[in-house]
Structure 1
Amino acid sequence: MRAVALDDAGQPVLADVPEPEGPGELVRVLACGLCGSDVEKLRPEHAGVVLGHEVVAETGDGRRVALVHHQACGECTRCRAGHEATCEIFRAPTIRPGGFAERANAQAWVELGHGVDAARATAVEPLACVLRGAARVPRGRILIVGHGFIGRLFAAVLERRGDEVFAVDVDPARAGRGPDAPVDAAVLCAPGGVDTALAATAPGGTILVFADAGAIPAGPVYRRELTLVGSRSATQGAMREAAALLPALDLPEPTVLPLERFAEGLSRYRSGGALKVVFVP
């Protein structure tokens, strides 16, 4: 089957790869979104890998589903404490070989309704990650640092629950309304931005680290009694919640391209020319 795999230099190329095998069910991929974490893996040590985890597929009996990227055991101390993404088995792949392919072997999924097309439905997985992170953010005045697609998801979720949301970005064209006073919490969802978040957050406030934003100095955290919390990835429960919520959100339309134009889509993502890129087989 056709797939976008990484060559020896860690660069994506369209290739013929074996049909997926192993546990799970064979599904037909309808669309797969490009995530920043995919771009981070474009390195020689990942040669041969097929990336892609924001996957919408069709099962053998015709159901449209969003594939679950990772699964926790649900029984260990970490899982019971709500830290499923740190479960010992969480890193095991559940989508083989990956979503940038014609077919995949899937171990778990959530069903989709009929009101959202496949390309837009690829937002279920990142939305599930955002829902899990947003649950750790106190209500109030909240600053989003990094207003790309993930930042837009956070803004949509937080505004829906009644928060006053501000958003900044290194690209002025992407920035939203800047804060007019200190905020109760900040969400770091892009590289960099630590100084911006620290400067904007009121004493006693919270900073959610949702991206590898760089080193965070301890001084301001200590002196202003700030709370730092981290969150990454999604759970199957969050995926179900995201699938139900997605039709109600007003989100930017993705740029949709065939797998043959992967290099173009990657370039548009990296340059900021496309807020979200989705590939279809």
Structure 2
Amino acid sequence: MKVARSVGVREVAVQDDPEPSAGPGEVVCRVLACGVCGSDISDAWVAPKVPVVLGHELTGEVVEVGAGVVGLAVGDRVVVHHHAPCGECRRCRRGHETLCESFRTTNIAPGGFAERVRVPAELVGELLLLEDLDEERGTFVEPLACVLRAMDRAGLRAGDSLLVLGAGTSGLLAIAAAHARGVEAVWVREPRADRMEHALAAGAERHGNELVDVAFVASGAAEAVTDGFASVAPGGVLLLYATPSPGKPLSLDAVSQYRREVDVIASYSAGARDMIDAYELLASGAVDPMPWVTHRVGLEETGRALEMVRTGEAIKVLVLP
């Protein structure tokens, strides 16, 4: 089968890999679509992994079912999740399942930028049947799940106010999800006119000097963190969501944080419950991400897809093997 393998931080080669097969408890899926995530273009994130087949926002069609698998059949269309926690360790018990060692080590093989993937037994139970979504909308389940978990960690509730800094895919999902969850006021900061248009169309307002309950930093720019911190009302939350630049410390006024009692929260990835919640929001139509899909490419153009997201030419790119 063909795979698009990152052989360098910014170098992708289409190569031949052996066809995967399903062992006991496993399934093999033909990849229908896979979205490009911001982490896929992060040099610091990718460098330790190369050579690697990236891609984790995927939908697939089951083409092989291993012994002992129940509830799935060849031909089923599914959303594939790429991590699963153990559910028993101290981190899982404290609600930090995405920090579980099992969560960090389980994964699909080889990755979503491929014609087929093997889903190991630990992840088969995480598969969600695509009964109410098409395969392209299904690629947004995982990124939306990450956004929902972040909002939950920040304690964002109906009636609160939210500032989203950065209107890439994650920021746009945050705007739409906030409205779906009854957030009273949603503001946005975004320097690019085209992305601002998408944010306004999603229901956000341009931010002035309003103080907010939660500032959702969906940009890796250092100034976004600074601006977000300055916009948090007393007792509010600064939510660090985007992948930060490595080795750069946060620059926050400690006295201001102390006096205002600003909580600084980070959020990484999503758990099984978040995936279900995201699926339901997408299936209901409360969140419609399709206007943000600016490009669709074949597997052989995966390198170009990554570069378009890296340069900002694209908002969301889907790879369709």
Q: Report the TM-score when normalising by structure 1.
A: 0.92
1:206-235: CA deviation from partner (whole Å, max 9, x where unpaired): 111112345242523223210111111011
| Bigger helix fraction | 2
Residue 139 of structure 2 corresponds to 122
- Structure 1: unaligned runs, 5 residues or longer: none
Cα distance between partner residues in 2 of 1:208 and 1:76:
25
In the other structure, the counterpart of 1:100 is 113
Counterparts in 2 of 1:212 and 1:268: CA distance versus 1, 3 Å: closer
Amino acid at match of 1:170: P
Find the aligned partners of 2:266 and 2:9 in 1 and give their Cα distance: 32
> Which residue of structure 2 lines up, in the alignment, with residue 79 of structure 1?
92
* 2:6–2:13 contact (8 Å) kept in structure 1: yes
Distance 1:174 1:253, change over 3 A: closer
Q: Which stretch shows the higher mean deviation, 236-245 or 29-38?
A: 236-245
One-letter amino acid of the structure 2 residue matched with residue 30 of structure 1: L
CA distance in structure 2 between the aligned counterparts of 1:7 and 1:226, rounded to whole angstroms: 42
- Quick one: distance in 1 between partners of 2:214 and 2:232? 6
Q: Deviations over 1:22-46 (max 9, x none)?
A: 7632111111111011111585543
Give the 3-state SS of the residue equivalent to 2:145 in structure 1: helix
Instruction: Count residues in correspondence.
Output: 281
Give the stretch that moved more between structures: 64-73 or 20-29: 20-29
Which piece of structure 1 moves more, 105-114 or 122-131? Answer: 105-114
Equivalent of residue 258 in structure 2, options 222, 227, 230: 222
RMSD: 2.0
Cα distance, 1:184 vs structure 2: 1.3
- Residues 1:191 and 2:220 aligned together: yes
Cα offsets for 1:140-166 (capped at 9, x unmatched): 111001111001111111111111111
The runs of 5 or more residues in structure 2 that have no matched partner are: 64-73, 200-204
SS of 2:127's equivalent? strand
TM-score (ref. length: structure 2): 0.81
| The one of 271, 277, 280 aligned to 2:317 | 277
How far off is 1:199 after superposition? 1.6
Match of 1:34 in 2: 36
> 1:186, CA displacement in angstroms?
0.5
Give the share of equivalent positions with the same residue, in percent.
Answer: 38
1:125-164 to 2 correspondence within 5 Å? Answer: 125-137=142-154, 138-139=156-157, 140-163=160-183, 164=185
Structure 1 residue 201 and structure 2 residue 232: aligned? yes
Give the drift of 1:183: 1.0
Alpha-carbon distance between aligned partners in 2 of 1:162 and 1:32, rounded to the nearest angstrom? 30
Question: Contact (CA 8 Å) 2:35, 2:318: kept in 1 or not?
Answer: yes
Q: Structure 1 stretches (4+) deviating beyond 4 angstroms?
A: 41-45
Contact in 1 for aligned 2:11/2:303 (Cα 8 Å): no
Is residue 2:228 matched to residue 1:211?
no
Q: Cα distance, 1:21 vs. partner? A: 5.6
Q: Secondary structure at the match of 1:270?
A: helix
